[in-house]
Amino acid sequence: MEELNVKKIQPRANTIVTTAEKFYTEEEFKALDKKVGLVFKDTAHAKNLHKLVQKVIAVGPVVHDIKVGDYIKINPLYYLDRKLVRDRDSLQRDVLDVTGTRVKESYSELDYKLPTIKLNEEECLLLFDRDVDYIILEATEGNKIYKSER
């Protein structure tokens, strides 16, 4: 069976399709990984996570206030993945719980994985309106300007 090559879609209900910008392009990521090696693998950016500011490409018919062309700030709450760090005893510490009993607390790593789809050979995010914290009308980040098309 051949791979489905989606060119244009209409999201259903309260679904939103956005760009899927990551912290680094694949080429930048490979160059950084080669440059700093294993040290880089321990940082948050090493996972090459999606940025939490994306541009809206399409919206479902039930979505209110969010329009195509808007920049939005994503809340990844529903896509968090907590992983317990078990192999690093140095990260454990004794703490007192609410009853006063001494317990071992293990630190955990938080990560998120946003759902993606392929649209016109490009990766896009497939989100719900509940995943949007707010619409960015105008903002700057370094030399990049975000301005919603309103």
> Does some domain include residue 64?
yes
* 144 within a domain of the structure (yes/no): no
Domain presence at residue 134:
yes
Q: List the alpha helices (DSSP H) in the chain.
A: 26-36
How does strand 116-119 pair with strand 108-112? unpaired
Please give the tally of structural domains in the chain. 1
What is the domain-level CATH number for residue 42? 2.30.33
- Give the structural domain span for 128: 15-76+114-138
Q: How far apart are the first and last CA of the chain?
A: 42
Q: Please indicate, yes or no, if residue 48 is contained in any of the structural domains.
A: yes
In a domain, 7, yes or no: no
Residue 86 placed within a domain: no
What string of pLDDT tens digits covers the 150 residues of the chain? Answer: 677 888 999 999 999 999 999 877 667 666 666 665 544 444 555 566 788 999 999 999 999 999 999 999 999 989 887 666 554 444 445 455 556 565 555 556 667 889 999 999 999 999 999 999 999 999 998 888 999 988
